Structure 1
Amino acid sequence: MQREGNKNMKESKFKFNIDVKTYMMIIALVAIWIIFTVITGGSFLTARNISNLFRQSVFTSMLAIGMVMVIILGEIDLSVGSIVGLTGGIIAIFDVWLDMEPVLAILITLAVGILLGLWNGWWVAYKKVPSFIVTLGGMLIFRGILIGITKGTTIGPMSGLFRYLGKDYLPDYVGIILGILGAIFIIFNQYKTRKDKLKYDFEILPLKLEIVKTIFFVLLIVLFVLIMNSYHGIPVPLVLLLILMIIFIYITRNTVFGRHIYAIGGNKEAAQLSGINITKITLLVFMLNGLMASIGGILLTSRLNAASVAAGQNAELDAIAACVIGGASLMGGIGSVGGAIIGAIVMASLDNGMSLLNVPMFWQSIVKGLVLITAVWVDISSKKKGKVV
């Protein structure tokens, strides 16, 4: 009886404490889509354009997954664009010049990405060199190596597997199966999360709102699959992104390693005093960031069907912008994988919509820069208001 009373109190209390900021970027994304749909006369929300939009966002999202962990840690990585270019060049050399088995080539390239992340992490974690300087140097070093090993030439075309990874679509029936699995996962996850919160006396949504929320997410999955299947199907790169997103959301939310990342970014001194191995965590985060950059390099090379010395230039800026727009704080301790991906989709939406309107490139850069500054300003302003209150 007492437990039920506590449950009702927590539910009623939650009604007055809904955090609007959590949903702010989703609201902003929907607003952007509505605006572009109206301006383009409905062209923006066609199945073909939505499919292209998500394909465009995959690359930045891949980098943002790794980058957001670095930012939560309180560090920065300016070398991911060069890691993308270098690993993309390596996979092209293996495939085109050496005719290596594709799976083996992918595994070696992923290992190279991890080693490049290890290089950055070693300097930051063990030698205490600021990550800004280490990764700025890495950006120059890795780009130089790329130019050297490729002799400044474009390498292509790629073999069949890579074209499949970069450009192909899943059959409609596979998309339906994945949609069903996704809906089951959402329902199970919502149920388990609610059960765990009740177990530890955390605040929960009223049951009716919880059901509405679950139905909303299931309907989103159904709508997404229908839209994708009405064009060519779900893009293969998007499926890879969704798998990695689930994995890293679990890592950051439900593992000791993930909690340690937040603890270090929130207060490094307190984390050290509590016994957290800051050196080890920092090294691992940079290695994971290198891994994600190498996956991004493989997918970019596969999508372009060739590797070039210019591949990945300024990609680190897009990744950082996606994380910040998605709610990550450059001071560390705040951010999420889901938010970073939403930030990447926001940026891709701006690029896509302005391209449909034939907006000059310089205006696209100006708009994205203004959006980034505004996102940081809103974050800082909300924190100041919180302190005043």
Structure 2
Amino acid sequence: MGFFEEAKYIIKQNIREYGMYIALAVIMIIFTISTGGLFISSRNISNLINQTGYIAVLAVGMTLVIVIRHIDLSVGFLAGFLGAIAAILLTRTGVPVFLTVIIVLVMGLLIGLFNGYLIANVGIPAFVATLAGMLVFRGALLLVTEGTGTIIIPNKSFNAIGNGYIPDIANIPGVHLLTLILGILAIGFYIWSEFNTRQNKLKYNFEVLSLKMFVAKIIFVSLIMGYITWILSGYNGLSWTIVIVIIVVAIYHIITTKTSLGRHIYAVGGNPEAAKLSGIDVSKITLVVFGSMGALAALSGILYTARLQSATTTAGTLFELDAIAAAYVGGVSAAGGVGKVTGSIVGALVMASLINGMNLLGVGISYQYIIRGAVLAAAVIFDVKTRNKRK
């Protein structure tokens, strides 16, 4: 099989995984041409990724929730409410930033565990339990912000979480050296990881890409990583938001691909009854997934509040829908059991790129909602069609 024939075959066999990357590339090319290169500028790409941060974190948690065949509608206003709690702790009680972050994350974890308990042990459908939570946290957010409407946060250390950038190790005009170094290290780690994975597969006689295709993949991904690193280094470098998102994605990627917990989560999503009969504690898995969703909602609230440098009465509005859309666009199956956290990050970037590009072109908000809805519908249709073909 020739190089191009193999490439075509691989894309066809893995269209579900590669489709979102192709969609992101097409969207970025279209907006780059339409805006005369403004879309791909260092400043805009940096802002685009930073604006995606709080939704990307939610999308990671929502991926696992949908994988186990549930949904969580409460995370939007839960993020807004916990962001307001962080603002109150910082401005009215004088709690240090580090302790504030810990308190808010623990609160999110406990609330997520409570949701999981209602669903797994009490038997309330996830839609109903989390819809009730959405209403409760919407009211709670209004309650804690009703005095001033907006709680301004003057704490520079906290606000740096959403607006700050990692320090540089040298003062070179136009280039953030530390970002370049970290990017090169990331590329090196990626290449090492891919070669190590390939060797392990060959050791156990698993099917692998041909050497030419494998090298082409390594070069292509490394060039993309290098280009993004160069773009970011041209405007302040890596932000703390990006660093936090990378850490979250790395942790959840390892959990879902390298641990028994991850295998159990996908087993429960694939067939809950079969998973239960094989000895997997489905209730425990549900608690773990919703607990992590609550903690990630808290982190999302911290990122959003720090970015705005304030807590507002409207914080969290439609966050849950953006997270769900990012997960579906990123390849999570509505039927459960299928989906990757890395895919959901790409899905979040697809939706954010659409919004950013349409804003640069001056597209009206009404048309933006229509287009975003159409993209989400197309993603679900794509999921259904590809699933039917596999059957």
> What is the TM-score with the length of structure 1 in the denominator?
0.93
- C-alpha offsets along residues 271-312 of structure 1, whole Å, 9 cap, x if unaligned? 001000101010000000011111000000000000012101
- Report the CA distance shift for 1:348/1:14 in structure 2 as closer, same or farther (over 3 A): closer
- C-alpha offsets along residues 326-380 of structure 1, whole Å, 9 cap, x if unaligned? 1101221011101100000000000000000111111111100000001111111
SS at match of 1:307: strand
- C-alpha offsets along residues 98-148 of structure 1, whole Å, 9 cap, x if unaligned? 111110011000000101101110101111110000000000112222222
Deviation at residue 180 of structure 1 after TM alignment:
2.4
My pick for the range that moved more, 157-166 or 109-118, is 157-166
Cα distance in 2 for partners of 1:360, 1:14 equals: 39
1:1-389 alignment runs, 5 A limit: 16-17=9-10, 18-151=13-146, 153-170=149-166, 171=168, 172-387=176-391
Cα distance in 1 for partners of 2:47, 2:382 equals: 30
Cα distance in 1 for partners of 2:109, 2:360 equals: 37
Return the letter of the residue paired with 1:251. I
Return the letter of the residue paired with 1:52. N
Q: Structure 1, unaligned stretches of length 5 or more?
A: 1-7
- Report the CA distance shift for 1:360/1:262 in structure 2 as closer, same or farther (over 3 A): same
Cα distance in 2 for partners of 1:253, 1:208 equals: 26
Counterpart contact for 1:326–1:340, Cα < 8 Å: yes
Counterpart contact for 1:14–1:205, Cα < 8 Å: no
Cα distance in 2 for partners of 1:73, 1:192 equals: 30
Cα distance in 2 for partners of 1:230, 1:154 equals: 34
Cα distance in 2 for partners of 1:215, 1:90 equals: 46
Counterpart contact for 2:16–2:386, Cα < 8 Å: no
Return the letter of the residue paired with 1:56. Q
Deviation at residue 13 of structure 1 after TM alignment:
9.0
Cα distance in 1 for partners of 2:135, 2:267 equals: 31
Return the letter of the residue paired with 1:23. Y
Cα distance in 2 for partners of 1:246, 1:360 equals: 36
Cα distance in 1 for partners of 2:8, 2:380 equals: 28
Deviation at residue 73 of structure 1 after TM alignment:
0.7
My pick for the range that moved more, 75-84 or 202-211, is 202-211
Deviation at residue 14 of structure 1 after TM alignment:
9.5
- Report the CA distance shift for 1:272/1:33 in structure 2 as closer, same or farther (over 3 A): same
> What is the TM-score with the length of structure 2 in the denominator?
0.93
Deviation at residue 49 of structure 1 after TM alignment:
1.0
SS at match of 2:358: helix
Q: Structure 2, unaligned stretches of length 5 or more?
A: 169-175
Cα distance in 2 for partners of 1:181, 1:13 equals: 30
Deviation at residue 386 of structure 1 after TM alignment:
2.9
Counterpart contact for 2:334–2:383, Cα < 8 Å: no
| Count of residue pairs brought into register by the alignment | 377
Cα distance in 2 for partners of 1:364, 1:158 equals: 34
Cα distance in 1 for partners of 2:139, 2:260 equals: 37
Cα distance in 1 for partners of 2:7, 2:275 equals: 30
Deviation at residue 15 of structure 1 after TM alignment:
8.2
Cα distance in 2 for partners of 1:16, 1:306 equals: 51
RMSD: 1.7
Counterpart contact for 2:120–2:283, Cα < 8 Å: yes
- Report percent identity of matched pairs: 45
Cα distance in 1 for partners of 2:16, 2:141 equals: 41
Return the letter of the residue paired with 1:343. G
